[in-house]
Chains A and B, each alone.
Chain A
Amino acid sequence: MLKNRIIPCLDVKNGRVVKGINFVDLKDAGDPVEQAKIYSDGGADEICFLDITASNENRDTIYDVVEKTSKKCFVPLTVGGGVRSVEDINKLLNCGADKVSINTAAVENSKVVVDSSKKFGSQCIVVAIDTKKNGNKWEVFTHGGRNNSGIDALEYAEQMEKNGAGELLVTSMDRDGTQVGYDIDLMSKISSKVNIPVIASGGVGNLDHMVDGIRLGQASAVLAASIFHYGKYSLKEAKDYLDSKGIPVRI
């Protein structure tokens, strides 16, 4: 039976781990390579790096981080943030990333998703959707949550599947950093709209939120940053808890 995945995410800025609260107010908290290794030894099903300020700054630090991490961690490594082109994706994959997540570039130029999934295979193309509720619809935001594209997130998700995305990483900006739980309504709506796996992100504050994200939100995987990073729960505790609730996990 296929297991639901728990994916710790490390937000990286200038080669250091940080985690934003609603995308601002960053705290510095560690070396990404060591942190990733701790997670992979602890039973992480995948590791995710998000280079949060990459759109504006020198990206070379992330290549170095990815290269070092991939020599130490033997679980899948997803890298996103500031990925603009097929060439950027190629470079990250060559450094040892297994999947690359594309956010702003997928909105601005859907050809990036079409071309990269053809070139490298859908299995390594994750489209990251940052979205916020506006009235009764969710709108897609770009540039690390700064710009509203006005695009409907549900329609967009469907379009990205057609364009060749292998997975969708859906972040509720309303919930991100709040620790009140994933936006279940959003996750379940997107998950039932597409036939590719959905990774739920934004808002997890306790382990019941993970159970809900999978069971009610129908997410194939749950992404979390702060609750692991600041030691609130270990991966083992998370997995044991999900297992006790009847969620299939790899133990």
Chain B
Amino acid sequence: MNVTIVDYKSGNISSVINSFKEVAKDKVTIEVASDLNKIKSSDKVVLPGQGSFKSCVDALNKIKGLTDTLNEFAITNKKPLLGICVGLQMFADVGYEEAETKGLGWISGKVSKIDNQNGKYKLPHIGWNQINIVKDSKIFKDIKNNSHMYFVHSYEFIPNDKKVISATTDYSSNIVCSVEKENIFGTQFHPEKSDRIGLKIIDNFINL
């Protein structure tokens, strides 16, 4: 089996690569690529994302055919895909960071700034917060409710269909921090930086 981490030149993905390689050991091949054929032939794809919604979408669009290839992978062929942080946010129809920007539209909804209640809550939401698991998700196998995960973000994904939500976290309101829709998975937190428990989520995804 092989898992491809999509390298679309947006932000720092070395931690994602290190964590997947740590979990995969020799059982699974971890590739890092933006090559369309490599992505097409993968069993699973990881879509990381750092920086703003707009910068990530722009970076995806800069690589000719990448969005189409990802659509084909996740929507047409229904192969497992994990979005991390802005990688998850891009599942939305639209994001409002920097400028209104069209997302991938895989899970209908929008990405807006966290309401910090007039400065009562600091932004970005940085650090360890507990997740409230609201739906059995395949990537939460052996993950206890209220586990701590590492977050760094100022924007939140608000899906229209609440049934896709698998976990929320409490920061000024109940923020969506994990989704599962058929073969599409996403975490707002960073499993690659969430210690052993985060590596377990990565392990769960690899073993789907």
| Chain A residues engaging chain B, CB cutoff 8 angstroms | 1-5, 40, 45, 70-71, 74-77, 93-98, 118-124, 166-167, 195-197, 220-221, 250
Contact = CB atoms under 8 A, between A and B. Distances in A.
Interface stretch (B39-47, B66-74, B102-110, B126-134): B126-134
A197 B153 CA distance: 12
A166 to B, nearest CB: 6
B83 to A, nearest CB: 16
Contact of A220 (B14, B126, B171, B199): B126
Contacts of A166: 124, 126, 152
B12 A75 contact: no
A220 B55 CA distance: 28
Given A75-B195, A123-B50, A93 B14 contact: yes
B153 A74 contact: no
A124 B126 contact: no
Place the interface of chain B in its size category: 35 or more
The 3 closest A-B pairs by CB, nearest first: A121-B51, A93-B12, A123-B152
A98 B122 contact: no
Interface of B: 11-12, 14-15, 18-19, 21-22, 50-52, 55, 116, 119, 122-130, 148, 150-154, 170-171, 192-196, 198-199
Contacts of B153: 123
Contact of B123 (A45, A93, A96, A196): A196
A70 B152 contact: no
A198 to B, nearest CB: 8
5 contacts: A2-B171, A74-B198, A96-B14, A96-B15, A196-B123
B140 to A, nearest CB: 18
A45 B198 contact: no
A15 to B, nearest CB: 19
A75 B11 CA distance: 18
B127 A45 contact: yes
B122 to A, nearest CB: 5
A120 B12 CA distance: 7
B15 A40 contact: no
A75 B150 contact: yes
Contacts of B192: 74
A5 to B, nearest CB: 5
Contacts of A75: 150, 193-195
Determine which residue in B15, B55, B119, B150 has the highest number of CB atoms from chain A within 10 A of its CB, and name it.
B15
Contacts of A220: 122, 126-127
